[in-house]
Amino acid sequence: MRGLLFALALPLSSVGAAHAQTFTTANGVKPVLELIRPQWIAIRPYEGQDLLYMTTLLTYRCGIEQIRFSYNGGDLQVWEGEPCYRDEASPMALKMDTHVPYAVAPLDSLQTVTINLLFDDGTTMEHSYLRKDVQID
């Protein structure tokens, strides 16, 4: 019986590892990002400033070559975020040791936000948000 349990557990763990790998390329993350496009970001007023959270978007960063964002129609800036941990069991995990999943701006200054993604296959995806649609309290 002990051998049977080990034999059954091995394929299940292999499936889990293979499933995680499907989200480390553009082909894996683009369909998910398309479905959750309205939830890529959130704006939260906090302690006298606006926090632009990219937590949901960053969860799928492994297939993204570059995350670019702009406020209120300004120039696109490059998000310098946490890397993808391709050699680890959970490549999309956010460790937050050296990076935070948000940008800081003056209170009430974020009226519109545009996110532009450059994928590892050279394609792009973009979405613009109104503050009222993504603000959380």
CA distance 30 to 87: 21
pLDDT of residue 114: 98
Yes or no: say if 52 and 64 are a contact pair by the CB < 8 Å rule.
Answer: no
Domain boundaries, the chain: 2-134
Q: Picking from 4-8, 26-30, 106-110, which range would have the lowest pLDDT averaged per residue?
A: 4-8
Question: What pLDDT, in 10s, does the model give residues 64-84?
Answer: 999 999 999 999 999 988 999
CA distance 58 to 101: 7
CA distance 47 to 15: 44
Question: What pLDDT, in 10s, does the model give residues 37-59?
Answer: 999 999 999 999 999 999 989 99
* Full-model pTM: 0.81
The length of the chain, given as a count of residues: 137
